[in-house]
Amino acid sequence: MRPPARGFSPRQVTGESLLIAPFFIPDGGRTRGEIEISLIQDNCLSTKDKALIFTLYETGCRVGELARMEWKDLIFDELVVKVYIHDTKSKQIRYSRMVSAKDCVLAWKNIYPGQPEGNSKVFIDRTRREIIDITVDRTIKRAADLAGITKWIYAHLFRKSRATHMVAEGYQESVIKMSL
């Protein structure tokens, strides 16, 4: 039998689904990935970068979905931000809720260069155009370097990590599929 991937326990079969559960470490029951994501978030250089990374992780969206996200897709509530993600891969609209990212996204909205409403893109570059994947990767890499994380970090890893953490937190598989 092949040994499990680094950082994961052997696959656990639950009903018809195949789930991979992470090893837990003593830091309050958080996984290594959760700790690293917290370090990356804490080492962002700007409000926009922090909002971008929080949103990328908490919604589990793809970089293209993040780039196409418009202010009309975000609904701010007392406790959460409801996000409607336009999934071009499956031609559907997914719904996600952000709790931890709410304050960061709200702070970004308050200093947004332009009108944060309607069809305006949520995340824009310095020239006020839609961000591209290399911009997101550089933002993540810069924050990871400042956090002292030396392993390879890339945008899609946030989506994978979110799915793994949702499994570890006990979310039902159907909820995970609907939100990711």
Tokens of 163: 């799915």
Give me the amino acid identity at 53.
Answer: I
With residues binned 3-state (H G I as helix, E B as strand, rest as coil), the percentages for the chain, rounded to 5, are 45, 15, 40
Map residue 121 onto helix, strand or coil.
strand
pTM for this model (two decimals): 0.76
Say how far apart CA 173 and CA 175 lie, in whole Å.
Answer: 5
Q: What pLDDT score does 13 carry?
A: 31
Q: What pLDDT score does 27 carry?
A: 45
Q: Which residues of the chain have pLDDT under 70?
A: 1-32
Domains and CATH numbers, the chain: 29-179 (1.10.443.10)
